[in-house]
Amino acid sequence: MTTELKNPVNNDLLAELNNKHYLIVHNFTQKQFYYDSIKQMIFDGIEQIEGVECRRSIEKHGLATMHKYFPVDKVFYLDIFIRKHIHRLQMELAYSFCKNDLKVSTEFFIAPEALVVKICYPFEVAVKSKVTYQQYEQYQAQQLKLSKPFNLKESLKAVKVKTKNLLQKPQTHVGYHDHYPYAAHAYAPHLDSWYRVPLNGINLWWAIAGVQEDNSMVFYPEAFGRYIQYQRDIAYIPPGNTLPKPHKLQLQDGSIFVFNSDLLHGSHLNISNLTRIALSPRVILQKPTFYPDSSNREYSGWHSSKDIGRGEFEKLIKFPKKENWGTLYEGRQKPYVEKRISITLNSSLSEVTPIALCPSDTLSVGEKMLVNFRRESIVILRTIEGLRAVSALCPHLKANLIDGFHDEQHIYCPGHAVTFSLTDGSSKCNLLKVRVYNVYDHDGQILIEKAVNQLDAHLDKSHCTEL
């Protein structure tokens, strides 16, 4: 359930955050001050990294146009600039918001490392970057160890040789985020507690610029409180688990989306024509406890709301994970499930001869099935208007569409919520399209023929990280 608020939250709504309730808060205490402050910080970073003319262009046309003026290969510098300068501001914002607007009366905690910064360029621009996600992570870890505020010229002078070697160093492994440049990365659906974030937290997802349905965050309230399988080596939900319909978020600049950290959520691949910028402090409303199967990494410590209220921003309190285990969704419901039908054939689709797959009554209206041929996999759906068939793998990261939600007109990628037409295989992104096949009922059987559309849209291999 969504509540859009212009006034402070009451206690009943705050309690509902521990359910699948979420809030959209348009006006909050000192909103203009905090919003202007973060924009000023971003503009300062742009000027330091790319110069005053770039800053003026973006100030004139808006932060949502940043991809037109600020080089995609320098986005990671701006990310680090924000992280190094925003510590005090995000503490003050989170404290003020929880105290004055959420009306939290008990002690709460904020971790300095728990801030998420995301500058998200349109996918068709982001894939042209040469900076990999692994290189970004290594450079970020190196920079955040430095105590001084980020200064591009001084930083590059101090680590000139090391940075050059780092950005030219071949990748030692290929993880989930390494298939595309850092600028194009997006988070698949997840629970924050899988990644060392404490249980019973809330996220203050703050829209800074350009947040639209086709570039923002997606969430899955139907999955809240249910068991969700977690594959630690990929850090996401393993294949074979069907997701409910993704809810897509659109926010006004400056508004805050408040939700439980263990509401299943992820990134929508940015298939808009806007740069999306968002920040997300995480707040723990009680003594931090942790999911036992989460990452082994520890936070350096936590800021208490009592200390922040006294102006003590340097004091940190330790909550070692091994001494503070908790339970994720005590009494969890059974997982969200969908009838799963799968057929495997040791043959290839014919150019001229239809292939009979199964009796027509195998697939009822609203159901879908996965058909694996020797060289391709296909998802077949039965809608009210008849059968539809599309290639099973999303061209973005090869997520299997059988695990995604579908309706009468579309199928949703379970990875990053890109929506594909069942009629022609198109999406809103010119680079992403799936094949459509000719499938029909005949003499009580489901028959399929070779693809009826050609993929004139494709991802140029030069845009992708070498695997």
The confidence score (pLDDT) of residue 174 equals: 46
The confidence score (pLDDT) of residue 17 equals: 76
Which band of pLDDT confidence, cut at 50, 70 and 90, is reported for residue 161? very low
Strand partners, 442: 445
Mean pLDDT, residues 85-99: 92
* Residue 244 reports pLDDT greater than 60: yes
Q: What is the pTM of this model?
A: 0.87
The confidence score (pLDDT) of residue 158 equals: 47
The confidence score (pLDDT) of residue 233 equals: 74
Structure tokens at 443: 């003499």
Q: What is the DSSP-derived secondary structure letter of residue 416? A: T
* Residue 27 reports pLDDT greater than 60: yes
**8 A C-beta contact, residue 457 and residue 433:** yes
Cα gap 347→356, rounded to integer Å: 12
Which band of pLDDT confidence, cut at 50, 70 and 90, is reported for residue 146? low
The confidence score (pLDDT) of residue 247 equals: 95
* Residue 80 reports pLDDT greater than 60: yes
Which of 288, 323, 358 is at the close of a domain?
323
Residues 419 and 318 both lie in one domain: no
**8 A C-beta contact, residue 336 and residue 243:** yes
Q: Is residue 297 part of a domain?
A: yes
Q: What's phi and psi for 48, nearest 5 deg?
A: -65, -35
Helix axes 75-85, 31-50, angle to 10 degrees: 130
Pairing state of beta strands 386-391 and 377-383? antiparallel
Distances (CA, A) of 338 to 264, 369, 419: 17, 11, 19
Residues 16 and 139 both lie in one domain: yes
Mean pLDDT, residues 330-334: 70
Mean pLDDT, residues 373-395: 96
Residues 282 and 391 both lie in one domain: no
What is the end-to-end Cα distance of the chain in Å, rounded? Answer: 42
Lowest-confidence segment of 140-144, 274-278, 419-423 by average pLDDT: 140-144
Check which CATH number belongs to the domain holding 244 and give it. Answer: 2.60.120
Which band of pLDDT confidence, cut at 50, 70 and 90, is reported for residue 178? low
Q: Is residue 465 part of a domain?
A: no
Residues 316 and 355 both lie in one domain: no
Cα gap 23→16, rounded to integer Å: 10
Residues 294 and 354 both lie in one domain: no
Mean pLDDT, residues 281-285: 91
Quick check: helix, strand or coil at residue 60? helix
Mean pLDDT, residues 439-467: 68
* Residue 456 reports pLDDT greater than 60: no
Residues 301 and 363 both lie in one domain: no
Give the domain extent around 46: 4-323
